[in-house]
Amino acid sequence: MKCPVCGTSLTQAKYEGVPIYHCLECRGFLASRSRAMGIRHKADRSPEILLDEAKTQLLADTRKTIRCPTCRDLMRKESIPGAAQFKLDVCHRCDLIWFDGGELALFQLAWEASPQGQESAKMQERHQNMSDEERAQLEADIDALPRSSLLGSLLDAFRPPDDGLD
Ligand SMILES: [Zn+2]
Ligand SMILES: [Zn+2]
């Protein structure tokens, strides 16, 4: 199966233990909707790792319409919930989602920043377990991002409350 963006052969990979297709060239991921939701509900990658992944792999959001690598139909653009500026490419017939480089990390961060995501017990636990150093590093990473970007405001939403969680 070929990458719908750059045509490179896709590699089978595992992301947080979930089987997924990956393009080593443009760093995109292809997953069924159910697998993507499974990844979103896992908390294997810390917010710091996701931030780093989003920042280093977010090369370009594909603006052109691409074709599903399985059925060749045109894929539809769908906003990432909570990060509407970023568009995923979806094939409804095959129930496949294409994530451009970094978008899978964003997809998870946006979920974790959402009220639903924050209710997740794992997330609460992770916030509580974050050391002062880790918290400071996360805030420094967030401060280093351009304020004007929507990614910046997304990450602001993710900023832990100042008064702590005790
Ligand atoms: Zn590619
Ligand atoms: Zn398809």
User: Helix H segments across the chain?
Assistant: 33-41, 47-57, 103-113, 115-119, 121-129, 132-143, 150-158
- 5 found inside a domain: no
State the pLDDT at residue 104.
93
pTM over 0.85: no
Considering the domain boundaries, does residue 100 fall inside one?
yes
Q: Percent of the chain beyond pLDDT 70?
A: 73
For the chain, percent of residues with pLDDT exceeding 90: 39
Could you list the residue range(s) of the whole structural domain that residue 133 is in?
Answer: 11-158
> Which ligand approaches the C-alpha of residue 73 most closely?
2
Q: Is residue 1 part of a domain?
A: no
Domain count, the chain: 1
Cβ-contact 111, 102 below 8 angstroms: no
CA of 157 to the centre of ligand 1 (A): 30
Tell whether 2 is covered by a domain: no
67 closest CA partner among 123, 153, 4: 4
Task: Determine the distance separating the centroid of ligand 1 and the alpha carbon of 131, expressed in angstroms.
Answer: 37
Q: What does the pLDDT look like over 14-60, one tens digit per residue?
A: 999 999 999 999 999 999 999 999 998 887 888 888 888 888 887 66
Residue with the larger pLDDT of the pair 89 and 121: 89
Nearest-angstrom CA–CA distance, 81 and 76: 15
What is the average pLDDT value for the chain, to the nearest integer?
80
pLDDT for 79 beyond 90: no
Q: Give me ligand 1 centre to Cα 163, in Å.
A: 43
Q: Is the pLDDT of residue 155 over 60?
A: no
- Look at residue 147 and tell me if it is in a domain: yes
Evaluate whether residue 25 is within a structural domain.
Answer: yes
Q: For residue 62, is it within any domain?
A: yes
